[in-house]
């Protein structure tokens, strides 16, 4: 498995991941738009030419906002999510970011635990932020 900066060549795989991992997946057009956005950064985890995970963020000055982290269900529990987060955290440290933040479903204990492992802390909640099913979002931030 290798992690590389996402390009248009990864879009088919990322679009498939979006559909399999999220109840409200991003459209291909949204992914393409963000890929061209100079204020966004995406990485893809690739194995044997197949996208098996990805992470994306936007940034404003020295603030980073993670959009999504997704790993193909067949490849979970193999450190791919950790590798993707580590790549983004390393980038943010190198670029002198003040913080990196995200929202996660309250019930997603595996993801919350993973983020805590990297030093993210709970900084708030958004009531009923998610739908299908309706659920609170936990806001987590890593300060540098």
Q: Read out DSSP for 23-92?
A: SSPPPHHHHHHHHH-TTEEEEEEEETTEEEEEEEEEEETTEEEEEEEEE-GGGTTSSHHHHHHHHHHHHH
Examine the residue annotation and report whether 115 is marked as an active-site residue of this protein.
Answer: yes
Find the catalytic residue in 95, 115, 129, 130: 115
Neighbours of 25 (CB within 10 A): 18
Find the catalytic residue in 18, 54, 103, 130: 103
Catalytic positions: 103, 115
């Amino acid at each position: 498995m290798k992690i590389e900066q996402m390009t248009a060549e990864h879009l088919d795989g990322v679009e498939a991941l979006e559909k399999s991992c999220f109840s409200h997946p991003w459209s291909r057009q949204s992914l393409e738009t963000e890929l061209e956005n100079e204020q966004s950064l995406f990485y893809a985890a690739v194995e044997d030419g197949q996208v098996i995970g990805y992470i994306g963020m936007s940034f404003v000055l020295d603030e980073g906002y993670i959009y999504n982290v997704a790993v193909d269900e067949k490849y979970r529990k193999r450190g791919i999510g950790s590798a993707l987060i580590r790549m983004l955290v390393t980038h943010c440290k190198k670029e002198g970011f003040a913080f990196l933040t995200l929202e996660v479903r309250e019930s997603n204990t595996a993801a919350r635990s993973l983020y805590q492992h990297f030093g993210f802390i709970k900084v708030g909640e958004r009531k009923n932020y998610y739908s299908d099913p309706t659920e609170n979002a936990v806001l987590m931030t890593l300060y540098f």
